[in-house]
Amino acid sequence: MDEKIVVHFENDGTPMKVQSFSREEGIAFDKPKDASPLNIAFGLQSLLPGRLDPVRLRHDWRNREFGLDATVEDGSWVLSGFNGDREGLPFGVYDITVEVESYTFRNSGQRVVLKQGKQVEISLNAQPDARRIQLQDNFDAATATLLGKSAVDGQPVAQWLASGTPREARKACLLNILTKLAAPPMPGARKSLTSRFEGLHFAEVDRIYGAASPALKTDLDGFVAKKGWVFEGRPTASIHQKVVRDALKRFKTDLAGKKLEDFSLSSYRQGGRNSLQVVVAEPKFEHPAVYADLDIDLGNPLWNLDGFIVHLGELIDSGRTDHFSLHEKLNKGDTEDFVFYQIV
């Protein structure tokens, strides 16, 4: 009993200490620092699956689900029996896979032998990404204006893009979404969505946040009426609530006294492949702006899981958000003239 799996992370041989982890937010490392925690998933396959059945029955788990506790101890990620169940991670032989959003590990899949009453330690070594962003100096007037009004990580966006501090994956994400905003949002549309935004203030490897005119929602409703976009209603994934939490912290004066429930969330998805998703956080009170969560659907449901559920019986899909790969797809068709960088 009390068996544990201890996961250490390294980036090209340099330790990456886990600073925090939560089921809702994800995992954060001490370096390189990101704007917010990253999504993480864990795959577990027992070579002696019969030993897991009593645990599943005890917790009444269905559909091949299997829960674990995940905590941070001395900079490592530690997995153990669910809800303190001392026999919740039976000893035995396991094939495991760990995936962290926007990282590629040389040894993400490993076989471990977990001995009775012991813990097993593994180290995951992230491959350094040699790809770099090189701007093409071809911003259209509306995009250039928006960038001039935007700041990320406390820096003007132009300075942020030129800096070596943020990971290149974050830059690629921001620039790809700017491409989708600048390109025609649907056939027959005369204006882009860029001019509706008053400023961008957050960029991560998978999404950006911005403040926009309330007319943004009017435009999106019009696209839905013309069958070019789909109205998805209130988004179910809890990650989309972060746009409101971020705004409440960032714009404390303008939003003083307001809470999450003072905003209404509406999700819109662009038609076609590699579609832009816009989640609009609309204040239920008089306010000159709405707040938007923007991401591009890469067809990967892995990161939409709520909570921490171990995939049992099969290893997780290794696909992940890769905005560098998306760059190649945007360099064609209606978006081709609005790609603002090269990969070197």
Clarify whether residues 216 and 171 are in a common domain: yes
Assess whether 142 and 114 both reside in one domain: no
Question: Is 309 a residue whose pLDDT tops 60?
Answer: no
* CA–CA distance, 323 with 190 (Å, rounded to integer): 27
Percent of the chain with pLDDT over 70: 93
Does the model's pTM come out above 0.85?
A: no
Q: How confident is the model at residue 63 (pLDDT cuts 50, 70, 90)?
A: confident
Are 137 and 257 in a shared domain?
Answer: yes
Average pLDDT over all residues of the chain: 90
DSSP H stretches of helix in the chain: 53-59, 141-148, 157-162, 168-182, 215-225, 242-250, 323-330
Residue 111 and residue 209 share a domain: no
The per-residue pLDDT for range 136-166, each reduced to its tens digit, is: 999 999 999 999 999 999 999 999 999 988 9
pLDDT of residue 165: 87
CA angle 269, 270, 271 (to 5 degrees): 120
1-15, 19-33, 211-225: which range is least confident on average? 19-33
Domain-ending residue, one of 97, 126, 155: 126
Domain ranges, residue 190: 133-298+322-343
Does residue 304 sit within a domain? Answer: no
Question: Are residues 50 and 174 located together in one domain of the fold?
Answer: no
Indicate if 60 and 112 belong to the same structural domain: yes
Give how many domains the chain has, as a whole number. 2
Same domain, 143 and 160: yes
Domain of residue 89, CATH code: 2.60.40
Bin 64: left if φ > 0, else alpha if -120 < ψ < 50, else beta: left
| 187, part of any domain | yes
User: Which of 126, 143, 170 represents a domain boundary (last residue)?
Assistant: 126
pLDDT digits 0-9 by tens, 20-56: 998 878 899 998 888 989 888 888 899 998 899 999 9
Which pLDDT belongs to residue 266?
Answer: 98
| 70 inside domain | yes
pLDDT of residue 237: 82
The pLDDT of residue 29 is 96
79 in a domain, yes or no? yes
Q: What is the 3-state secondary structure (H, E, C) of 56-112?
A: HHHHCCCCCEECEEEEEECCEEEEEEHHHCCCCCCCEEEEEEEEECCCCECCCEEEE
200 and 90: one domain?
A: no
Kindly state whether residues 137 and 113 are assigned to the same domain. no
> In this predicted model, what pLDDT tens digit does every residue of 169-216 receive, in sequence order?
999 999 999 999 999 999 988 899 999 999 999 999 999 999 999 999
Last residue of a domain, one of 67, 99, 126: 126
For the segment 261-270, the average pLDDT, to the nearest whole number, is 97
| One domain, residues 108 and 138 | no
Judge whether 28 lies within some domain.
yes
Q: Answer whether residue 140 is part of any domain.
A: yes
| Phi and psi angles of residue 176, each rounded to the nearest 5 degrees, phi first | -65, -40
Residues 273 and 330 in one domain: yes
pLDDT at residue 190, as a whole number: 84
Asked whether the predicted pLDDT for residue 320 surpasses 90, the reply is no
Do residue 155 and residue 248 come from a single domain?
yes
Tell me if 87 is assigned to some domain: yes
